Amino acid sequence: MYLIHAQLAAVSSETLPENAADAVMQCALPEESVEHVAAHPWAASGPVLGLFLLSASLAEAERSAHAVCTRALKTAGEFQGFRLITCQAALPPLPYELLLGDGRGTE
């Protein structure tokens, strides 16, 4: 399973609608293998949709997520006033120990 983040931008001061995740799921075709969608309207970088896909590869997951989001933005009225900025794999944050070191071997 892959998690793909779709970063959106509001053309005006629109906020992501409460039913954004459901609206995206309704735009997904069966062959795109979208299992779940989560909406994060107040992410620090702007509204984000998280799409969980069962795809054979990361590239396929990103293509499918992009197609679903593009379709949703064009056809679902909930997304009027939004545009797609990026649609790519979500990278997990680096563990705290990697950022600051774990203290071993520093004596």
- What pLDDT is stored for residue 106 in this prediction? 46
Examine residue 102 and state whether it is found in any structural domain, yes or no: no
> What would you report as the CA-atom Rg of the chain, rounded to the nearest whole angstrom?
16
Could you give the number of structural domains in the chain? 1
Examine residue 85 and state whether it is found in any structural domain, yes or no: yes
The answer on pLDDT for 103 being more than 60 is no
Average pLDDT score over residue span 89-98: 69
Examine residue 60 and state whether it is found in any structural domain, yes or no: yes
**The one-letter amino acid at 71:** R
- What pLDDT is stored for residue 22 in this prediction? 95
Examine residue 21 and state whether it is found in any structural domain, yes or no: yes
80 against 62, higher pLDDT: 62
Examine residue 103 and state whether it is found in any structural domain, yes or no: no
* pTM: predicted TM-score of the whole model, two decimal places: 0.81
Distance CA 48, CA 39 (A): 6
Examine residue 105 and state whether it is found in any structural domain, yes or no: no
Question: Which position has the token pair 């609608």?
Answer: 17
Virtual torsion, Cα 40, 9, 20, 13, nearest 10 deg: 100
Residue 17 belongs to domain with CATH number:
3.30.70
Examine residue 96 and state whether it is found in any structural domain, yes or no: no
Average pLDDT score over residue span 63-80: 93
* Domain span at 70: 2-91
